[in-house]
Amino acid sequence: MSQDRSLPRGFQELEAFVPYWCHDTNDARRTARSTAQMADIQRFYDAVVARAEDGIAHCEQFELGKMPDDSERLFKLLLAMNHAAIAVEMHGQPRAHESVWPSAVRVTQGPWPYGGSNIGVLL
């Protein structure tokens, strides 16, 4: 992490979301969404959606696995935005209605960011 910033220049308004929403795995991002308050999910979603096109354009400059740390954190926020979108656009709440939590499904391997091409699920 940079001494003076955790996200690339120009994305300072998203800094406050890094500690809660920036995670390495799909399961961690899903857990963040599933355990957050809906108002916090909505606030995160609104902020990141407003900057998503700029964020994607920034991240597309780099290969996966070769991004500078600050750009990788931005990329992870964009991935988390997709999890927040499920709550905001589909469920209207952090988890699907009457869903079991915590879930017994865990993604154990996959294509992002540096794994193999197989996706494994542990039940």
- pLDDT number for residue 79: 95
pTM over 0.85: no
Helix (H) or strand (E) holding 72: helix 69-85
Has residue 3 been placed in a domain?
Answer: no
- 17 against 1, higher pLDDT: 17
Q: Which residues pair with 109 in a beta bridge?
A: 120
- Does the N-terminal peptide bond of residue 68 adopt cis geometry, omega within 30 degrees of 0? no
Has residue 5 been placed in a domain?
Answer: no
Q: Is residue 61 predicted with pLDDT exceeding 70?
A: yes
- pLDDT number for residue 122: 44
Q: What is the mean pLDDT of residues 11-22?
A: 96
Has residue 6 been placed in a domain?
Answer: no
Q: What is the distance between the alpha carbons of residues 31 and 92, in angstroms, rounded to a whole number?
A: 16
Has residue 36 been placed in a domain?
Answer: yes
Considering its fold, how many domains does the chain have in total? 1
- pLDDT number for residue 67: 93
pLDDT tens string 26-48: 889 989 999 999 999 999 999 99
Whether 77 contacts 18, CB under 8 Å: yes
Has residue 107 been placed in a domain?
Answer: yes
Whether 61 contacts 48, CB under 8 Å: no
- Domain boundaries, position 24: 12-122
Q: What is the sign of the dihedral through the CA atoms of 89, 58, 60 and 120?
A: negative
pLDDT tens string 66-121: 999 999 999 999 999 999 999 999 999 998 877 766 666 666 666 555 444 444 44
Q: CB within 8 A of 75, min separation 6: which ones?
A: 55, 59, 67
- pLDDT number for residue 106: 65
Q: Compute the half-sphere exposure of residue 6: CA atoms within 13 Å on the CB side of its CA.
A: 14
